[in-house]
Chain A
Amino acid sequence: DVKVTQSSRYLVKRTGEKVFLECVQDMDHENMFWYRQDPGLGLRLIYFSYDVKMKEKGDIPEGYSVSREKKERFSLILESASTNQTSMYLCASSLVLNQPQHFGDGTRLSIL
């Protein structure tokens, strides 16, 4: 079974801090994704990566960056956290783009 592990379930940070969210998958998947989930808005894609060191912007990349130095690990970085980045963040992976994505259990991030 594919396992996608997000390093923190809950995180509280302060405005202006640099925040790192980590995600690891164990199935040698090519693609990894970061989503933000807000009530009534569904899942919105922040960034995805189709290979090591490769990344593509999603719908809402502003204020975020990503890093993929190893195939199994995909990090989301909030350069200078703001209160409007308080949200649930979900990481996912898939073998190819047009196949099921496997999700982690999310990180609920609060920015105070």
Chain B
Amino acid sequence: QQQVKQSPQSLIVQKGGISIINCAYENTAFDYFPWYQQFPGKGPALLIAIRPDVSEKKEGRFTISFNKSAKQFSLHIMDSQPGDSATYFCAASSNNNDMRFGAGTRLTVKP
């Protein structure tokens, strides 16, 4: 059962554009929502994370938007760069639940 649904599966963006990846979750007990970035040949690395007491968190060019009532959250990458080309995973967890990952989005930023 997929508790976290992620879209799109792949995304192509021009350099300087905005990349948007969306995730939806089912379990209302989830209270920690991280995004991971994975480059080829490497393991996923934490990029940015949010807890549901805020609706938005920004770190540099990366922003998480969180909608608790809709059970959705998204990653926005502003001014996308070729170096941002990677696979991105959203995830969700709680104190009593192991982390659930989305299926991943392969982002390609064209120069």
Contacts and interface: CB of A to CB of B under 8 A. Distances in A.
Contact of A98 (B41, B94, B103): B94
A68 to B, nearest CB: 15
Number of chain A interface residues as a range: 20 to 34
Interface string B55-91: 0000000000000000000000000000000000100
A53 B42 CA distance: 28
A98 B43 contact: no
A90 B103 contact: no
Nearest to A105: B43
Report the contact-size class of chain B (Cβ under 8 Å from the partner): 20 to 34
Interface in A31-77: 33, 35, 40-45, 48, 56, 58
Contact of A43 (B42, B45, B94, B101): B101
A40 B103 contact: yes
Contacts, number: 56
A43 B89 contact: yes
A60 B8 CA distance: 25
B43 A106 contact: yes
B49 interface: yes
A41 B103 contact: yes
Interface string B1-40: 0000010010000000000000000000001101010000
A42 B93 contact: no
Contact of B98 (A33, A41, A99): A33
Interface of B: 6, 9, 31-32, 34, 36, 41-46, 49, 89, 93-99, 101-104
10 contacts: A42-B6, A42-B102, A42-B104, A43-B101, A58-B98, A92-B43, A96-B95, A98-B95, A103-B36, A103-B43
